[in-house]
Amino acid sequence: MRDGFGEVIEKLRRSTVQVKAGRHSGGSGVVWSPDGQIVTNAHVVEGAATAEVELWDGGRFAARIGKKDRRRDLALLEVDVSGLTAAASGDSNALRVGELVIAVGNPMGFIGAASTGVVHRVEYRSWVVSRLRLAPGNSGGPLANARGEVVGINTMIAGGLAFAIPSKSVAQFLRTPLDDSGLGVVVRPMQAGLLVLEVIRTRPPIAPRCCRAIFWWARSGSDSSLSRTSAARFTLAEGAFSNFNSAAARARTSAR
């Protein structure tokens, strides 16, 4: 049993890469196909036009950012390499509370580190939540079941729990054409909720009748060691942007 579990983790390590982009210290990624498709978090490559990936055996390759979805916090990287060790994709909808899960990544500079935990709850359209230890550098790495099938992409820690994007959402991201227009909302977590600090246009033009909004938030403290883009979404009616931006300005002034 011990040897079998070690083999599962070793296979996961071989399909996990280290991602470096721009000034960011780096994160992790998952080889999704042998022909060079790698999935990571959008915030890992935020602000970068290209990235570099390092494989488990030390091989380094330049990567293109094929597409990015800030709402889901997912990005697709592409490298001109074939024969990569791809991860096996699992069904996140089949997870059950209490089930064993494994996270692999590159936290704090430790390459291919693994940790285990159990599923705390499953929010099928948004999150796989686990009692699992993660740290900066785990972002974009795989969350797998006991068979080594990837059921999520690790994204953040909040309230002592690990949050991962379900594999079903990853599959949808990969097969759906990307429409990245919308609004970005910078908020600050507070005890009573979220304080809106700023509203940002993410890409013109804004949709004529309504527009999606993205919450950008970063928490600090012992219960939240990873900064990330959340998947919270809502719609703003046409013409509400100026009123919402004015409210944001008042919130910034009162917060100073």
Over range 222-238, report the average pLDDT.
35
139, 167, 169, 225: which one is catalytic?
139
Note if 120 is an active site residue: no
Q: Is the peptide bond before 205 cis (omega within 30 degrees of 0)?
A: yes
Q: Is residue 178's pLDDT more than 90?
A: no
The chain-wide mean pLDDT, for the chain, equals 77
Q: Which pairs count as long-range contacts for 153-156, CB under 8 Å and 24+ apart, including other chains?
A: 153/30, 153/39, 153/40, 153/41, 153/74, 154/28, 154/103, 154/105, 155/41, 155/73, 155/226, 155/228, 156/224, 156/226, 156/227, 156/228, 156/230
Question: Is residue 25 among the annotated active site residues?
Answer: no
Domain annotation for the chain: domains and CATH numbers: 2-78 (2.40.10.10), 88-175 (2.40.10.10), 182-255 (no CATH)
To the query of whether residue 43 is one of the catalytic residues in this protein, the response is yes
Give the model confidence (pLDDT) of 61-84 as tens digits: 999 999 999 888 999 999 999 999
> What pLDDT is stored for residue 9 in this prediction?
94
* Whole-angstrom distance, CA of residue 39 vs CA of residue 152: 11
In this prediction the pTM is 0.70
The catalytic residue among 28, 43, 69, 169 is 43
> CA 103, 109, 110, 111: dihedral to nearest 10 degrees?
80
Determine which one of 15, 28, 69, 73 is catalytic: 73
